[in-house]
Amino acid sequence: MKSTKPHRPRGGWYSYPGPDECILDMINSQLQRVSEGHKFNVYSLDDLVDSRALCGLVNSFMSGTFTTEVMLNDRWTINLAMRTISKMLHASNPMGSEDLSEADPKSICSYMCFFFMSSYKLRQSMAVLRRLKELTLLVQEVDSEISKFPPKLDSMQHLKLKKQLETNLDELQKEQETLQETYDIEYINDWLAHIKEVQVETRKTIALKMNERFDLVSVPRTLTINELCMSVAINLQLTQGAGFYRGYERETCTPDRRIVLRRKSDQKFLDDFTGVEGSRNIRDILGINKDEVAIVEPAMFPKYEFYFESKSRNKTLRTGATFLYQVFPGNTNQWQRLFFKAVRDGDTDVVKKMVIFFKDSHPDFILSKEIKSGNTALHAAARFGHFEIAKYLLENGCNVNARNTSGWTPLFYAGEGLHR
């Protein structure tokens, strides 16, 4: 009688890679399919807190969902990516940035398994639709060739050719029937239409947050600001490491201490440091001298919520306290610099993503000029000989006759560099 003992691998049972190794291998392989994935590697599950990883994975399956170049690498982006994944894949998901930071590795592996299984099913479904379209065209082509033959054929060569075409037509039609019987084509079409709707909704969410600039976090337990940032992946880069907390009691404010107000009537944030065009100085709004230490008492200004800057990241926040931090800049200057760099470097993918992203929220973004030179993106593309980028910029509204501070148009640079 044969033994039913399982075959023991040569290196022992522990020679197999662990689940986290398998998941990491899948993540890095998938990220190589998109441009943002070429710029970093995911070495451990902890690196999934880097929002570029999740956004890149979503883009690798659902192209163009996120423009990672304009997103802050933090909890808000992570949570948006995870909500987007849930909506696209028709699956509720309670996980967030805090779970990626603190959850058990097995839970994270399980979540990523679900993501990959569902996303590969999506990719398979998209391949089925592409193949059906190809088959439809091929059937039409072969059927057209058959119809060209006369009813009676005198040549044996023509007879064989017609028979071969009829055989090919039969095979193509059988493949069509097999695919239509195996897959729910109507459901796949509905699924892809749903994904496009989610992509539009996600872009609107990003545009809305760009106008708001700030995000609020409810402190889950008593923590210092530094501990809060570590546990839920908050990035304080835009405020040079400083965060803000909701204030109810009087506070002493030195001239350099920043304050953010939130108008209760329309929930709009007011500040004087993010670069919003036309913004007023907060101390002018409150009637406080800008050059002196002042005592600010929120109760005296019932129309506003007050968020005071904390210079120290060791400040303790109690359970239920509200923490505020900046998610987006108040203007597009930072993104313009990134846009011009992508044009100069010939990074067509980034250029296209940024043009599409800002097309609705900032229509004049593509017409931006460098402050010193007055060059447009088209000047830069012409100067460095990036023909495809120059063509794309022209197709999307760049002015070929725009002049820089020296009076040169993009054609001057193209001629100077002997570029077409």
CATH code: domain of residue 164: 1.10.418.10
Q: Are residues 206 and 99 in the same domain?
A: yes
Q: How much is the pLDDT for 14?
A: 66
Given 212, 243, 277, the domain boundary residue is 212
CATH code: domain of residue 350: 1.25.40.20
Q: Are residues 345 and 385 in the same domain?
A: yes
In a domain, 358, yes or no: yes
pLDDT above 70 coverage of the chain, percent: 95
In a domain, 11, yes or no: no
Q: Are residues 260 and 367 in the same domain?
A: no
Q: How much is the pLDDT for 4?
A: 59
Q: Are residues 194 and 53 in the same domain?
A: yes
Given 298, 326, 354, the domain boundary residue is 326
pLDDT digit string, tens, across residues 74-123: 999 999 999 999 999 998 877 888 888 888 888 899 999 999 999 999 99
In a domain, 87, yes or no: yes
Q: Are residues 358 and 309 in the same domain?
A: no
In a domain, 3, yes or no: no
Q: Are residues 235 and 337 in the same domain?
A: no
Q: For residue 242, what are the domain limits?
A: 218-326
In a domain, 7, yes or no: no
Integer Cα distance of 332 and 368 in angstroms:
9
pTM for the model stands at: 0.85
pLDDT digit string, tens, across residues 176-233: 999 999 999 999 999 999 999 999 999 899 989 999 999 999 999 999 999 999 999 9
Give φ, ψ of 272 to 5 degrees. Answer: -130, 25
Q: Are residues 189 and 228 in the same domain?
A: no
In a domain, 260, yes or no: yes
Q: Are residues 148 and 21 in the same domain?
A: yes
In a domain, 102, yes or no: yes
Given 326, 353, 375, the domain boundary residue is 326
Q: How much is the pLDDT for 5?
A: 60
Q: Where is pLDDT greater, at 245 or 51?
A: 245
> For 262-279, what is the mean pLDDT?
92
Q: Are residues 245 and 306 in the same domain?
A: yes
Q: Are residues 204 and 222 in the same domain?
A: no
Neighbours of 270 (CB within 10 A): 15
Residue 10 pLDDT more than 70?
no
In a domain, 1, yes or no: no
Q: How much is the pLDDT for 113?
A: 93
Q: Which of 313-322, 333-342, 405-414 has the highest mean pLDDT?
A: 313-322
Q: Are residues 260 and 355 in the same domain?
A: no
Q: Are residues 241 and 98 in the same domain?
A: no
How many structural domains is the chain composed of? Answer: 3
Q: How much is the pLDDT for 1?
A: 47
pLDDT digit string, tens, across residues 114-160: 999 999 999 999 999 999 999 999 999 999 999 988 888 778 888 89
